[in-house]
Amino acid sequence: MKINKPAVRTKPIDFILFSTVMLLVAIGVVMVYSASSYSAFFNTAIKDSTYFLKKQGVAAIIGVVFMFITIKMDYHKIRKYTTILMIITVVLLALVLAFQPVNGATRWIQLGPLSFQPSEIAKYIVVIFMAKSISKKGEKIKTFTYGILPYIITSGFYAGMVFIEKNLSIAAVIMLVTLIVLYISGAKTSHILGLIGLVVLLGVAGIILEPYRMARFTSFLDPWKDPKKDGYQLIQSLLALGSGGIWGMGLGRSRQKCYYIPEPHNDFIFSIIGEELGLIGCTLIVVLFIVFIWRGIVTSVKASDTYGTLLAAGITSVIAIQAIINIAVVTGAMPVTGVPLPFISYGGSSLVINLVAVGVLLNISRQKTDT
């Protein structure tokens, strides 16, 4: 007897998801300008208050264009390019080591006035690889040797290369996303719990072995113990959030961006949002990310196949984990670490790659199974 497969139909993209991302990008461009205008204007090498606004605006336009391209492109086509994308990512991660460190970390490929951070690609390459491979395994994912170990080795390899660049935070994001995708795939809970313990131990070792990371951790526990050095950035962030109150001081009126918070348009932009837009502005950002996660989960659940389910879950997890870590760091709930706030923090490569990933997510939302 012939069994009829569920019909897959194409529908409009998830408008709520699309609108949420566009709103986050718009807020990000505005806040990058607000947070960076003072330091950019008084920087003797720049002397242009709109310098970072123009760069972020161009990145946003490029990212949106590529997002629309990936919306139109069937996400199943990514499968055939998985291996070559993985190889290119490894080459780029290795190439980074040939460039001079920036602020003690070797994370960027410098091409004249432009810079590119390969670790931004690595996060999604791991997701693409896992989605393709796991979708073929079925119940074998429940075994450790065949179902778990290959992904831990592969993800650990990419995370290790990122870690060598002195980027523990993104390496941790890669491993956390790996665990989430494995859990969604049906891996045994006992295996997942064991891996969580291993990841925690490796994270602790990474902190202990690097004096500057250990200093960050101890300053997180008591930032006022060393307010002029290791605890300085967190204290200034908390002052910014506290100064904003409920309604904020008004857009563009932040005081902490005036050389109190180092590079306020980067990882600590959420504290500037809190100072200028208050609790209302911070709540709006949190709600938008919650909506993004919700629609990402809905897209994953309603995907037309296992590959789409895992791909959507992985993309959603990458962005969600980064948002949670960034907000936790800025509010003093976690040790200070260099994780940007997706769609909002300054960074062209991060913004473009995140928007490309969202384009894939929206393409998945266009296809669902009628059951």
User: Which tens digits make up the pLDDT trace of 8-47?
Assistant: 557 889 999 999 999 999 999 999 999 999 999 988 788 8
Tell me what pLDDT residue 194 has. Answer: 87
Asked whether residue 368 carries a pLDDT value surpassing 80, the answer given is: no
What is the model's pLDDT at position 134? Answer: 93
The per-residue pLDDT for 5 is 44
The model's pLDDT over 322-350, given as tens digits with 9 standing for 90+, comes to 999 999 999 988 888 878 999 999 999 99
**More confidently predicted of 212 and 14:** 14
Model-level pTM?
A: 0.92
pLDDT score for 336: 80
pLDDT for residue 370 is more than 60: no
Q: What is the mean pLDDT of residues 198-224?
A: 75
Strand partners, 8: 369
CA distances in angstroms from 256 to 38, 237, 260, 328, listed in the order given? 10, 8, 5, 19
Return mean pLDDT, the chain: 89
Residue 4 pLDDT grade (very low, low, confident, very high; cuts 50, 70, 90)? very low
Write out pLDDT tens, residues 248-298: 999 999 999 998 998 899 999 999 999 999 999 999 999 999 999 999 999
